[in-house]
Each structure stands twice: as structure tokens, then as C-alpha cells.
Amino acid sequence: MGLGLLVASCTAIRPEHCPYTDWRATGELHASKGHKSRLPGLFETCMAIGVLPDGDAYVAGYQRGLLGFCTIENGWTWGEHRSVNPGICPPATSPGFDRAFGTRASLEQLAVEEALMESRRDELEEMIVSGEFSDETLLRELRNLRKDLDRLEVERLRTRNGFAHWLRHMGLEAPQDLYNY
């Protein structure tokens, strides 16, 4: 059993591990890591050495892994560092995962845009203070940047408050870091 757990912890399987793999644990691991089912590749790899993977056990483990992966909390966490939703959640759980993922990804993108705009704003303000501009082009750009930053702030508040309201409606509390945006 120890070797089966070791093999299940790997995302890709090597042919020599096929005879010892815990197929249920492998399926559960793949789902819990946000991977689409890898059963076709497992069949290809293992059948090349004459080992038939236990597809039923893999699928059962994969379904169990989806239950742990496809949560609102996990959607929120995944949205922080990933720009692409894995799209593996079944219809019963995908609305929560997708909403949380989309909200977090949007807030992260808004934070990046804000940082870039603030950097340019600071640069323009420094140029204006030091007298390094020759016409009103920089002043217009600065005015437009400030308007864009205001619009971005409204979008952030709308996104954040909409998600918090949705969670409250579901009887859930918003993640604490929602208010860091």
C-alpha cells in the first residue's frame, strides 16, 4: 500500500508504477489538484506494458476529489494565482466555485491595473513638479489617469460588495481577505 500512495502523489505516472498504483487515490489526487481526468493517458501508459488500469476506481476517486476541489473556498483560493478556471466542476458545484474564482481573479487583475496606473501617475506628478513637461499633454494624461483610477475603484467596490452580498444570501461569510482589495 505504501508504494501505491507514493505513486498516487505523482501527477504523471511512470510505466513501471502501473502495477502498483492505487487508482482511486490517483483519481482523487488529480481532481484535488484541478486536473482534468487523466484516465486516457493512464490507459495509454499502462497498457503499453500490459497493465489495465482500474478505470472504475480512478473515476470514483476522481469524483471524490471533485467534491473537495469544487468548493467556494477553493474557487476563491484558485482565483488568486491562476488566470484560467480549470472547468472541471460538475453542475451542482460549479456555480459556487466559478463565482468565487471569477471574483478573485477579477480583483487580482484590478489590483495589477491599479498598480500600473498609480506608477504612471506618480511618474507624471514627479515630472510636473520638477518642470519636465513642455505642454499640457502630461496634465491631460494625469487627469485621465485619475479618472481611470476612480473608475477602477468603483469597479473594485462593485465586484467585492456583489460577491459579499451573494455569499451572505447563501448564508456564508465573506473571506477576510476580500476586504484587502
Q: Is the pLDDT of residue 133 over 90?
A: no
pLDDT by residue (tens digit) across 134-162? 678 888 999 999 999 999 999 999 999 99
61 and 83 in a common domain: no
Predicted pLDDT at 134: 67
CA angle 133, 139, 142 (to 5 degrees): 115
90 and 175 in a common domain: yes
Tell whether the torsion through CA atoms of 90, 94, 82 and 69 is positive or negative. Answer: negative
81 and 150 in a common domain: yes
53 and 115 in a common domain: no
Measured distance CA(135)–CA(178) in Å, rounded: 42
124 and 41 in a common domain: no
Query: Cell numbers at residue 55, please?
Result: 478505470
Residue where one domain finishes, among candidates 69, 87, 106: 69
pLDDT by residue (tens digit) across 86-121? 999 999 999 999 999 999 999 999 999 999 999 999
96 and 50 in a common domain: no
Domain, as residue range, for 131? 74-180
Predicted pLDDT at 128: 84
Predicted pLDDT at 4: 42
CA 10 to each of CA 35, 36, 66, 95: distance values in angstroms, whole numbers, following the listed order: 12, 15, 18, 29
56 and 130 in a common domain: no
Q: How crowded is residue 87: how many other Cβ atoms within 10 Å of its Cβ?
A: 11
Containing 143, the helix (H) or strand (E) segment is: helix 137-169
169 and 86 in a common domain: yes
Nearest residue to 83 (alpha-carbon basis) of 104, 114, 113, 111 = 104
Q: pTM for this one?
A: 0.80
169 and 146 in a common domain: yes
107 and 21 in a common domain: no
Q: How crowded is residue 97: how many other Cβ atoms within 10 Å of its Cβ?
A: 26
168 and 129 in a common domain: yes
Please count the structural domains in the chain.
Answer: 2
